[in-house]
Amino acid sequence: MNRPIHARPRCAAATLTAAVLATTLATTPLVAQDLVIQAARIVVAADTVLTDGRLLVRQGKVAWVGDDIPADARARARVVDYGDATIVPGFVLAQSTLTQDADLAESALAFTPDLRAAEGFDPWRKETRELPRCGVTAVGLSASPRNVAGGIGALVKPGREVATIPVPELHLTLSLTQAARNEERPPTSMMGAIDLLRTTFTIAKAGTHAGPDAAVLRQVLSGSRAVFVHADAYTEICGALDLARDFGFTVTLVGARDAEKLLPRLVEQKVNVVLDSLLPESRLEQLTLPTRLAEAGLPFCFGGRPELLRLSAALAVRNGLDRRTALQALTRMPATLLGQQASIGSLRQDHAADFLVFRGDPLDLDAKHLATWIDGVRVYGEEPPAKKPAAEPAATVAGDN
């Protein structure tokens, strides 16, 4: 039987509304609930510490800090109260191949500056899932140091199951270490490696070569692309410094085992340093190098193996480095060296909600690591029981701690 004529427009309108609603819901992402993270001590940055502080996390970022949090936002947010814990920014590992050396080094050719590490990276590897347990929330994925010019790095962030690559192109990786000198293909010597770099930079500077490799070198010369150079021994460091001086770019040394022998020159050329891992059995010169670099005013950060980051910082503190500089060398400084200080390395507003929760000071090994959060998602550890949001007194901002 036919429907009455007057009912037909109402049915059509309802159907249309339902269709529009369904489409809207399908295309609009679900809005995660805001989080208020509370703890006895929140280290927003090395020089900004909140006592009995809180952060409001919205869509993976720090939306507000401390008493800037609007009351209505606080009221709607889910509270995660870690009680007497200390919250610090997540550790940033400035340089690593994340055990994928083989896929991040083109062994047939020594000079591949245009290759991209992000394209050779497997985000599902087990080693990447272990990073949050070490407190690492961001990594400067680099090409392997087994090539003189390995390629372009990327920023990788671990997740619960799979890592992400928020920034696919970062610095250029060069290497003058023994690993880059290969008997089976040139260069086979230190002289050959330096000559190769000089030649290619000269060509790039001249602008006569239009290939992608020269384009990358021109970016370095123009200052639009940072360059990390693996150099450990004195001659290797000198070679890197000579190259940087002669072609007018700033260099970040990776390893720099003999940096102490060249401190004045490193200061003069404003060199950054990414240190290798420290171990208890490391030579005393290595254990005290962070202190010497800090005293010289050189920007540096801890690098090497992700599992050894915290131990490296603790050993540096044990051998004279002050705690504030040590924490900066784990967080803000590596972010700066990667050019990502606007998004990671601290818990300031609009930074990624990447943070670690400790019972105690993270630079003391007796502090228990309770949790790791990346982009506002807990990827390691436990969460305390949820509490209802309540009006609390304003947080106290402390100075240097």
Our finding on whether 257 is near another protein (CB under 8 A) is: no
Our finding on whether 308 is near another protein (CB under 8 A) is: yes
Our finding on whether 102 is near another protein (CB under 8 A) is: no
Sign of the alpha-carbon torsion through 208, 212, 213, 215:
positive
CB of 310 to another protein, least distance (A): 6
How remote is the C-alpha of 334 from its chain's centroid? 6
Contacts of 124 (CB under 8 A, 6+ apart): 161, 162, 163
How far apart are alpha carbons 56 and 376 in whole angstroms?
10
Applying CB under 8 A, which part among 111-119, 276-284, 294-302, 374-382 lies near another protein? 276-284
The secondary structure of 156-206 as a DSSP string is EE--SS--EEEES---EEEE-SGGG--TTSS--SHHHHHHHHHHHHHHHHH
In the complex with another protein, the residue whose CB is nearer, 235 or 291, is 291
Our finding on whether 368 is near another protein (CB under 8 A) is: yes
Choose, by CB under 8 A, the member of 118, 363, 371, 379 that binds another protein. 363
Q: H helices within 92-171, ranges in order?
A: 126-129
Our finding on whether 307 is near another protein (CB under 8 A) is: yes
Over the range 61-89, which residues count as b (16 or more CB within 10 Å of their CB) and which as e? Answer: bbbbbbeebeeeebeebebbbbeebbbbb
In the complex with another protein, the residue whose CB is nearer, 226 or 371, is 371
Which two tokens mark 177?
């270490």
How far apart are alpha carbons 156 and 119 in whole angstroms?
12
Our finding on whether 323 is near another protein (CB under 8 A) is: yes
Q: Are residues 62 and 350 in contact, defined by beta-carbon separation less than 8 angstroms? A: yes
CB of 160 to another protein, least distance (A): 21
Q: How many residues bind another protein (CB under 8 A)?
A: 22
In the complex with another protein, the residue whose CB is nearer, 319 or 349, is 319
Which two tokens mark 47?
């020089």
How far apart are alpha carbons 138 and 125 in whole angstroms?
15
Choose, by CB under 8 A, the member of 310, 328, 373, 376 that binds another protein. 310
Our finding on whether 110 is near another protein (CB under 8 A) is: no
Applying CB under 8 A, which part among 26-34, 140-148, 212-220, 357-365 lies near another protein? 357-365
Nearest to 300 by CA among 344, 357, 260: 260
CB of 289 to another protein, least distance (A): 16
Specify the 3-state DSSP secondary structure of 218.
helix
CB of 336 to another protein, least distance (A): 24
CB of 360 to another protein, least distance (A): 8
CB of 307 to another protein, least distance (A): 5
CB of 370 to another protein, least distance (A): 11
How far apart are alpha carbons 133 and 49 in whole angstroms?
24
Choose, by CB under 8 A, the member of 190, 263, 279, 397 that binds another protein. 279
In the complex with another protein, the residue whose CB is nearer, 54 or 129, is 129
Sign of the alpha-carbon torsion through 12, 14, 15, 21:
positive
Contacts of 362 (CB under 8 A, 6+ apart): 86, 88, 135, 310, 327, 356, 369
In the complex with another protein, the residue whose CB is nearer, 305 or 378, is 305
Choose, by CB under 8 A, the member of 364, 383, 386, 394 that binds another protein. 364
Applying CB under 8 A, which part among 52-60, 199-207, 242-250, 362-370 lies near another protein? 362-370
CB of 186 to another protein, least distance (A): 33
How far apart are alpha carbons 291 and 319 in whole angstroms?
7
Choose, by CB under 8 A, the member of 238, 367, 397, 398 that binds another protein. 367
Choose, by CB under 8 A, the member of 43, 63, 216, 315 that binds another protein. 315
- Taking phi over 0 as left and psi of -120 to 50 as alpha, with beta for the rest, 251 belongs to beta
Residues of the shown chain interacting with another protein in the complex, contacts defined by CB under 8 A? 279-281, 284, 305, 307-308, 310-311, 314-315, 317-318, 323, 360, 363-369
